[in-house]
A and B are shown apart, each in its own frame.
Chain A
Amino acid sequence: MTRDPELALIHSAVARLRAGVLAIVFGGVGAAGLFLATALLLLQGGENVGQHLSRLAWYLPGYSVSWGGALLGGGYGLLLGGALGWICAWTYNQVALSREGR
C-alpha cells in the first residue's frame, strides 16, 4: 500500500543487475562446480572413474576425469559460467530498461 509520494517513488525503482558481478559469480560457481565434481570422483577412486562425467569432453575439448582435466574444467566453468551470467544480466537489463521506458 502506498502511503505517500516518497514511498511511491521508492516502490517505483527497478533493480539493475551488474553484468560484471553476475558473470563473476556464475563463473566462480561454474569453475568450482566442475573442479570439485572432477576432484571428488578422483579422490573416491575405483574402476571406471567418472564414466559419465568424462562425456563432458563432447562439449569441452581436452577435458578428462583427471587432475589436469579438473583444472581445465575449472577454466571452462569459469568462462562458460561467466558468459552465461553476463548474458543473463545483460538480457535482464535490456528488457527492464525497455519496459521502464514505456
Chain B
Amino acid sequence: MEEVVIIGGGPAGLTAAWELDKLGRQDAQVFEKDGIVGGIARTDVYKDYRFDIGGHRFFTKVTIVEDIWNEILGDELLTRPRLSRIFYKSTFFDYPLKPLNALGGLGLVESARVGFSFLYAQVFPIRDERTFDQWVTNRFGRRLFEIFFETYTEKVWGIPCSEIGADWAAQRIKNLDLVQAVKAAVFGQRAKNKGEVITTLIEQFQYPRLGPGQMWESCRDQLAEKGIPTHMDTEVVRLERDGTHIVAAIVHDAAGERRVPGGHFISSMPIRQLVGAMDPPAPPEVQAAAASLKYRDFLTVVLIVKDPELFPDNWIYIHSPEVRLGRIQNFKNWSPEMVPDPSTSALGLEYFVNVGDDLWSMDDADLVALGTKECDLLGLVDGSKVIDGCVVRMPKAYPVYDQDYQTTLDVLRGWLDPIDNLQLIGRNGQHRYNNQDHSMLTAVYAARNIAAQGRYDLWSVNVEEEYHEEVRGSEAAGATGDRMLPQRVEEPAAVAILRRAYARYDTVALGAAVSVVGALALFVLTAVPVARGVVVEGMILSSLAAYLPGYSVSWAGAVFGAAAGALGGFAFGWVLATAINAFVRWHGMALLRRLEHLAALDPDHGASP
C-alpha cells in the first residue's frame, strides 16, 4: 500500500485520517505546521483560560459528520443554550432579528424613521437592484439597512455594501421576512407543510466541554494510539512532482528538512501556498492565479475580567459604528469549564482585519488596551475590572470571493485537477467558505476515494443547499450546505426580465381578491349603522336597492350585500385582469414584431456562426 500524506491538522486533515482508519488504512500521517491542532476550530490556552478563534457551534445537516463528532467526543459534547444579540446604541436586539423587538428597542422616533423609510422604499423601490445595500433597502428601508446591516457587514468584509452583489443578500437574509416574522411573533412558528417539522437551531447547540479544540486534540490523540501520527510544528515546504503525480513531500521541523514519500496526498493548506510549494514549479500563469487569491484575516483580543457574570450572551454582534470591534465572545457561556477561576470571565473581542493593516501590526499590549477601551465605551465591561489579556492572530481565516475569484479558481483547478494523487479539502484547501462540517465532509470523501469506496467529487460538496439557522427535518440526513460570500453582480437573463415585464394577471385570483374586498366593504357599510341603531328613512345607502333588488339596510341586507359585493367584485376583478392581460399581450406582440423588423434590417443578421 502507498502511504497517505495529509497536509494540515485542522478539522479536514484530521477527519481524513480518522476516516482512513475506519476504512482500514493506518498508513496515513498528518503534518501540521502549528503547535496546536484544529485550524481555525482550535482552542487556545492562556493561563488556563481556554478560548476559540471565533465561536464554533457544532450543528450540521450531515449525518456522517455528526457521527464522527460523537465517535470522537461522546459524552464530552455538551448541549448548550444559545443567546446571541446585536448591540447598537447601548441597546440589545435579538438575533436573529425580530421586528417587534427591533422596533421596541429603537424607540418611538427611530421606529418612525424606520417606518417612513420602509414606506418610501415600498413606493419608490430601486429599480435596478444589483447590490447588497439596494437589495436590503428595497425590502426593509434605508434606515433599517443602516442600523442592522451596513456597519457590521462592512466591518466583517472590509468592502462597502454598495460593492457587494445582491445575490449574497438574497441568500443570507431571505428568511428574514417582515410579514412572516410578525406572523410568527403573533401566532407562533408552525410547520409549513404536513409532515415537515422545522427544527430550530436558534435555542441551543452542541459544544465540546473544553471548546472545539478538545475535539481535535482528542482526535489527534486517538489517532496516535492507532499508530497514525500527527507531526506538530512541521511544515510542508515542497511537494516533489513528476509531471501530474506527486512523489514526496519535503517537510521542515525543528530538526530540519526531511523527505516523506507518499502514494496519496491530501492537502488542506491554502491553495496559494500549495501551488507555491510545487517542485518543479507550476507554470507562471498558475502561480500568478494562486498569488491573486485573497483572504480576510482575523484577530482575537482576549480580556480576562474580574467579574463572574458580565452578560448572558454566548456572543454579541457589535453594530455600533463608533468602535472597530466586530463581535464579542463570552467563553464562559459557551462552557463554564473554559474559565478556570469562577470569579472571573473571559471575553474574546473579534476584529476582522487584513494582514499588515494597522490593527494586525499593533502591539499586543496596545490591542488589549484598545479592546478594554472599546468595551468600556460601549458600557459592556467596566475597564477597571480587566485584569489581564492576550492576542491571537489568525491569518487566512476567510477566503475572499472577489470579482475574479471564480476565474482564478478555474485556472488553478485546470492545473491541479489532473494531478492524479492529490486531493484538496477544507476551507483554505479549496478556497471555499466552508463550515467545519463541510470541510469534514470533503475529507471523508477524499478518504473514501483513496480506499476505493466510491468516486466522490469533492468540489460538489457545498453547492446545492443554503447555510441557515434552521434545518427542515426532512432534509436533515445527508444534505450539505453552503455559506456564501459576497459575490459579483450577475446580469439578469433577458427572458427573466421579459417574464416579469409581461407577466399576466391571474384573472380568477384578481376576481377573488376584489370579491373579498367588495363583500367586506358592503357588509361593514351595512352592518355598522344597523348595529348602532342609526338607520333612518331615505339614507343614501338604501338607494343601493336600485342596483341590488332585495337589498335593505338591515342584518339580512348586510349578508345579501356581502354576497352581492362578492359576486360583483369577482366579475369586476376578472374583467379588469382580462383587459390588462389583453393589452399587455398586444403590447408584447407589437414589441416582438418591432424587434423582428429591426433584426431583418440588420446586415449581420444570420451571418454569425
Interface of A with B (CB < 8 Å)? Answer: 6-7, 9-21, 24, 52, 55, 58-59, 84, 87-89, 91-96, 99-100
Closest to A100 in B: B506
In chain A, what residue has the closest Cβ to B499?
A13
Could you say which residues of chain B place their CB within 8 Å of the CB of A84?
Answer: 517, 520-521
Task: Kindly list chain A residues whose C-beta atoms are within 8 Å of the C-beta of B528.
Answer: 58-59
* Minimum Cβ distance to chain A for residue B567 (Å): 16
Considering only residues 397-454 of chain B, those with a C-beta below 8 Å from chain A are none
Q: For the complex, what is the distance from the CA of A6 to the CA of B497, rounded to whole Å?
A: 12
Is the CB–CB distance between B502 and A91 below 8 Å? no
A87 to chain B, nearest CB (A): 6
Q: What's the least CB distance linking B255 to chain A, in Å?
A: 66
> Of A10, A11, A88, which is within 8 A of B513 by CB?
A88
B499 and A9 contacting across the interface, CB-CB below 8 Å:
yes
Given contacts A9-B495, A24-B123, contact A92 B506 (CB under 8 A): yes
Q: Which residue of A lies closest to B139 (CB)?
A: A20
Does chain A have a CB within 8 A of B503?
A: yes
Choice from B505, B534, B539, B540 contacting A14 with Cβ under 8 Å? B505
Give the number of chain B interface residues (Cβ < 8 Å).
Answer: 34
Question: Nearest A residue to B529 by beta-carbon distance?
Answer: A58
Chain B residues contacting A7 (CB-CB under 8 Å) are 592
Docked Cα-Cα span, A14 to B498, in Å, equals 12
Is the CB–CB distance between A59 and B525 below 8 Å?
yes
- The contact of A89 among B513, B520, B540, by CB within 8 Å, is B513
Taking a contact as CB atoms under 8 Å apart, the answer to whether A14 and B123 are in contact is no
Query: B512 and A55: CB pair below 8 A?
Result: no
| CB closest chain-B residue, reference A17 | B513
Q: Which residues on B sit within 8 Å (CB–CB) of A13?
A: 499-500, 502-504
- With a CB–CB cut-off of 8 A, which chain A residues contact B540? 52, 55
Residue of A nearest to B497 (CB): A10
Closest CB of chain B to A30's CB: distance in Å? 12
- Indicate whether B508 reaches chain A with its CB closer than 8 angstroms: yes
Task: For the complex formed, measure the closest distance between the CB of A64 and the CB atoms of chain B, giving whole angstroms.
Answer: 15
Q: 6 closest pairs, A vs B, by CB?
A: A95-B509, A92-B513, A15-B503, A96-B509, A13-B499, A13-B503
**How far apart are the CA atoms of A99 and B510 in the complex, in Å?**
12
* Contacts of B246-288 to chain A: CB distance below 8 A: none
B227 at the interface (CB under 8 A from A): no
Separation in Å of the B181 CB from the closest CB of chain A? 14
Select the residue from B179, B499, B528 with max chain A CB neighbours within 10 A: B499
Nearest Cβ on chain A to B68's Cβ, whole angstroms:
39
Compute the total of residue contacts between A and B using a CB distance below 8 Å: 83
- The reply to whether B524 and A99 contact each other, CB–CB distance below 8 Å, is no
Contacts of A17 in B (CB 8 A): 513
Verify A91–B508 contact, CB threshold 8 A.
Answer: no
List the A side residues contacting B502 at CB < 8 Å: 10-11, 13
- Extra contacts, 8 of them, besides A24-B123, A92-B513 (Cβ < 8 A), are A13-B504, A14-B506, A15-B505, A20-B119, A21-B123, A92-B506, A93-B509, A100-B506
- A93 to B510: give the CA distance in the assembly, Å: 9
Which residues of chain B (481-515) have a CB below 8 Å from chain A?
495, 498-500, 502-506, 508-510, 512-514
A18 to B499, CA, bound (A): 16
Closest B-chain residue to A26, C-beta based? B517
What is the minimal beta-carbon distance from B536 to any residue of chain A, in angstroms?
9
Cα separation A58 to B532 with both chains bound (whole Å): 8
For window 118-163 of chain B, which residues contact chain A by CB distance below 8 Å?
119, 122-123
A20 CB, min distance to chain B CBs, angstroms:
4
Complex contacts, B509 vs chain A, CB 8 Å: 91-96, 99
Q: Cβ of B232 < 8 Å from any Cβ of A?
A: no
**Complex-state Cα separation, A13 to B493, whole angstroms:** 15
Q: Which residues of B contact A12 (CB under 8 A)?
A: 499
Q: With the chains together, A58 CA to B525 CA distance in Å? A: 9
Please tell me if the beta carbons of A95 and B520 are within 8 angstroms of each other in the complex.
Answer: no
Residue from A6, A88, A94 with most neighbouring chain B CB atoms (10 Å):
A88
